[in-house]
Chain A
Amino acid sequence: MLSVDAYHRPRSLEQALALLAPERAVVAGGTDLLVNPRYMAGVREVVDLGSLPLAFLEVRAGQVRIGANVTMAAVARSPLVRGLADAILSRGAAVCGSPNIRNMATLVGNVAAALPSADTPPPLLALDAWVLLRGPAGARRVALQDFFLGPARADRRPDELIECVEVPVPPPGTAGGFYKVGRTADDIATVNAACVLRVEEGRIVAARVVVGAVAPVPLRVADAEAALLGRAPDEAAVVEAGRLAVAAAQPISDQRASAEHRRHLAGVCATRALRQAAGLAPHGAELAHA
């Protein structure tokens, strides 16, 4: 039972926007709101987005657009999403919680919750995703890397909702990798990592390396990305990038892992994700842990 005084079910985006206020929580799947008290601080009413036309998952103008009501299960099985950089976003969505959670939880909710351990932000950051917010003054787009401000803190005002996440379709030949370490198959990541590589004429011309659960926000490792550029996608390059991921990590200790263990895993996850993207992982190996 949530301690709230009212449950609003707006039938249009306009109605929803008129309702948004600091004391009203936005609910899509609700799987975070119902179990994590931090999202209920100061909340007296809920606004359920379920009746809004935000269940679209489509390509428009070179962007895959994923609406606020699209579940993790729908993202995980979408052929459109599967086509992005070796399906790294599909794979992040497919390991987020248990099947019952993935049938309810939404990708946009995973972004809005802004937790550093979430499974879809690293692939989304590696794919240079954008967040489309809508508020009383209209729409604004924020690059996902600027959206996360800290644990459960993001650049969303109380009178705004996230309409969708937009993922630019990468150029042909863009490779990706994703690797998660968790205590069990359904647990939150102890550490996860996603990456994207584009190789032309034997040299890396574009690189993204993102590690989750090792910093206050999902962490893009700029040093690793810079070090990869211009190099051949070989074992030495990915090991070096993994070492730079360890150096960039600023993890905490909690019930899942010590900071020291997480720092080590930052390198393991980044290196294994990069091996996948570089074609260095044996077929079928090192795709997942637990």
Chain B
Amino acid sequence: MPDGSTLPVRCTVNGREYHWRLAPGTTLLEALRAAQVRGPKLVCGTGDCCACGVILDGRSVNACCTLAGKADGATVLTAEGLLEAGRLHPVQAAFAETGAAQCGFCTPGFVIRAYALLQEDPDPDEAAVRAALGGNICRCTGYVKPVEAVLEAARRMRSAPAPGPGAP
């Protein structure tokens, strides 16, 4: 069992394999950003804002309070990983087209939560969208547009269903 000061972590991030050697207390967010995966953002660092949201083995989690060791053997998907062959995922396109991003710093976390919601529930009502985004904090006070974006993305995905990367 490895118990030295270097923690080996093998994982797949956005379809690419990584083999990291990390300090044992490294968070998944720190590991991702050190690997130039810059979609997830550090804002609060305490799991309160969801700007660091990623999909870890099919579940959306906060990478800031997830130990990188938890990703060993896992598949990680981040907001930029939703791009397919240079084409925006319907969630990304809806966020861009409805003006759901202002400064954009929290947006990858919103996109990840929206993506996770639509995997579970392809036809959410507004209350379900608001509940799903309940942990995502935007300091530009832009909550109405993201809710509209998720509902619009849901409409688009229902009319042209295409399983996204990392879909269960």
Contacts and interface: CB of A to CB of B under 8 A. Distances in A.
B66 A35 contact: no
Interface residues of B, number: 36
Interface string B1-38: 11111010000000000000001111100100000000
Contacts of A5: 5, 24
Interface string B113-151: 100100000000000000110111000000000000000
B74 to A, nearest CB: 10
B72 interface: yes
Contacts of B48: 98, 186
Interface in B48-98: 48, 50, 53, 59-62, 64-67, 69-70, 72
Nearest to B67: A30
Contacts, number: 103
A56 B2 CA distance: 27
A35 B132 CA distance: 22
Contacts of A253: none
A221 B40 CA distance: 45
B69 A101 contact: no
A103 B61 contact: yes
Given A1-B25, A1-B27, A185-B131, A15 B66 contact: no
A9 interface: yes
Contacts of A103: 59-61
B12 to A, nearest CB: 17
A186 B44 CA distance: 15
Interface in A66-114: 71, 73, 97-101, 103-104
Contacts of B166: none
B46 interface: yes
B47 A100 contact: yes
Contact of A98 (B4, B72, B135): B135
B134 A186 contact: yes
Contacts of B131: 99, 185
Given A1-B26, A5-B24, A34-B27, A100 B61 contact: yes
B3 A100 contact: no
Which of the listed residues B61, B72, B131, B132 has the most CB atoms from chain A within 10 Å of its own CB?
B61
A108 to B, nearest CB: 16
Nearest to A103: B59
A7 B69 contact: yes
Interface in A1-30: 1-10, 15, 27, 30
Which of the listed residues A3, A9, A99, A101 has the most CB atoms from chain B within 10 Å of its own CB?
A99
A97 B24 contact: no
Interface of A: 1-10, 15, 27, 30-31, 34-35, 45-46, 48, 50, 71, 73, 97-101, 103-104, 184-186
Nearest to B134: A185
Given A6-B4, A9-B69, A30-B66, A97 B30 contact: no
A99 B135 contact: yes
A97 B135 contact: yes
Nearest to B53: A100
Contact of A186 (B7, B61, B64, B135): B135
B67 A15 contact: no
A103 B135 CA distance: 12
Nearest to B23: A1
A6 B24 contact: yes
B3 A101 contact: no
Contact of B47 (A3, A35, A50, A185): A35
A288 to B, nearest CB: 11
B65 A15 contact: no
Contacts of B4: 6
Given A8-B3, A46-B24, A98 B61 contact: no
In the complex, the 3 A-B pairs of residues with the closest C-beta atoms, listed nearest first: A98-B135, A2-B25, A7-B24
10 contacts: A7-B2, A34-B66, A34-B67, A35-B65, A98-B50, A100-B50, A100-B62, A101-B135, A103-B60, A104-B65
Contacts of A99: 60, 113, 116, 131-132, 134-135
